[in-house]
Amino acid sequence: MGHPFPIREIARQAGLSEATVDRVLNGRGGVRESTAQEVRRAIADLDRQRTQVRLVGRTFMIDIVMQAPERFSTAVRAALEAELPSLHPAVVRSRFHFRETGPAEEQVRTLDRIARRGSQGVVLKAPDVPEVTAAVARLVAAGIPVVTLVTDLPASARLAYVGIDNRAAGATAAYLMGQWLGDRPGNVLTSLSSGFFRNEEEREMGFRGAMRARHPQRTLVEIAEGQGLDATQYDLVRAALERDPDIRAVYSIGGGNIATLRAFEDIGRECAVFVAHDLDHDNTRLLREHRLSAVLHHDLRQDMREACHLVMRAHGALPPAGPTLPSAIQVVTPYNMPPQAAAV
């Protein structure tokens, strides 16, 4: 009966003498089967509780490094802070390194400072460029596990990716777009914040592939590099609408949706179908006002909880688990908003 526990500890857990436990473990006989079962049950109980014993008093300092619009980084911070009580008896403390835009070198400098200073783990949302991949390698070499969030760096030494299957999300958006547009004419505007984020690239590929297969007659018009910021997004959308009078729908991959809708209004055009991502505070309000058709959402609290668990496992504080599965993609309309979003 393999186990890592001292006989004294098993005896205390089972409420039996050490001699009785020793006879059971070594198969010496003279012990009732019910007693042997009590010993086995005590070992199983200790095994389950061993994780909690290892967590008591443990503090994990985790750095959250993200390039994203403020509305999304705020949602990530809120999701992590809401999950902290569920991580007890471990204590998770976090340092946030957020920026909305800027060259990759700035994020690399942040990652290198963390590598020098030390951390129990990094949760990272970054563009998929060689400089960032190299910085992740330096973090891992320093013994700091890295978990990518929302957008992956598959060629890096990261521990795992947490988030949705982005190709499937893009294909889901195409399915909804085709159903709602039906036979009505009109081109579809696809909007990316940047071509350097793998999640956006994969969503666009999933969307384009499904539209090509199911609605080959529909023209897709792409804009990019608005960084998901309203100030830059407005000009890009308005210019696209002026160039193409047939744009009637939007698949917003990278955000800036208030500016996108304002551009439609200012030019006097209707947006017949608008599919977006993430229930941040902007999209929650737009969905409630019926200005968005649907939002493809995933549970950020679940993502942040899984990211913390991955860091804990990397330090041996939780038992090994199977591979990390993609987060569920939720299609949210004005009529099925999650309670936490409806309350915003």
**Which one is predicted more confidently, 254 or 132?**
132
DSSP type of residue 249: E
- Contact between residue 73 and residue 229 where contact means Cβ atoms under 8 Å apart: no
Residues 6+ apart with CB under 8 A from 324: 160, 161, 162, 306, 310
Q: What is the 3-state secondary structure (H, E, C) of 45-63?
A: HHHHHHHHHHHCCCEEEEE
Residue 281 CA, chain-centre distance (Å), reads 17
Domains, the chain, ranges and CATH?
1-54 (1.10.260), 62-90+97-162+301-318 (3.40.50.2300), 166-297 (3.40.50.2300)
Q: Tell me phi and psi for residue 280, to 5 degrees.
A: -75, 180
pLDDT band at residue 164 using 50, 70 and 90 as cut-offs = very high
- Contact between residue 273 and residue 251 where contact means Cβ atoms under 8 Å apart: no
**Which one is predicted more confidently, 109 or 344?**
109
Selection from 224, 196, 193 nearest residue 107 by Cα: 196
- Give the per-residue pLDDT at 138: 98
Local structure of 44: helix, strand or coil: helix
- Phi-psi region for residue 113, left (φ > 0), alpha (ψ -120 to 50) or beta? alpha
| DSSP letters for 298-342 | --HHHHHHHHHHHHHHHTTSS----PPPPBPPEEE-TTS--HHHH
- Give the per-residue pLDDT at 66: 95
| DSSP letters for 215-232 | -TT--EEEE---TT-HHH
DSSP type of residue 292: S
- Give the per-residue pLDDT at 52: 59
Statement: residue 318 has pLDDT above 90: no
**70-105: pLDDT as tens digits:** 888 998 989 999 998 888 888 888 888 899 888 899
Mean pLDDT score, 295-310: 95
Mean pLDDT score, 206-219: 96
Statement: residue 239 has pLDDT above 90: yes
- Give the per-residue pLDDT at 100: 87
14-23, 42-51, 65-74, 136-145: range with lowest mean pLDDT: 42-51
Q: Give percent of the chain with pLDDT exceeding 70.
A: 94
**262-300: pLDDT as tens digits:** 999 999 999 999 999 999 899 999 999 999 999 999 999
- Give the per-residue pLDDT at 343: 45
Statement: residue 314 has pLDDT above 50: yes
- Contact between residue 145 and residue 166 where contact means Cβ atoms under 8 Å apart: no
The rounded mean pLDDT for the chain is 90
Residues forming beta bridges with residue 276, ordered by sequence position: 295
**Which one is predicted more confidently, 121 or 1?**
121
Residues 6+ apart with CB under 8 A from 117: none
DSSP type of residue 3: -
DSSP type of residue 184: -
Alpha carbon distance 19, 118 (integer Å):
47
**Which one is predicted more confidently, 331 or 13?**
331
Statement: residue 20 has pLDDT above 50: yes
- Quote the pTM value: 0.80
Alpha carbon distance 287, 292 (integer Å):
5
- Give the per-residue pLDDT at 49: 62
Q: Residue holding tokens 């199977």?
A: 322
pLDDT band at residue 50 using 50, 70 and 90 as cut-offs = low
Total Cβ atoms within 10 A of residue 344: 12
- Contact between residue 60 and residue 120 where contact means Cβ atoms under 8 Å apart: yes
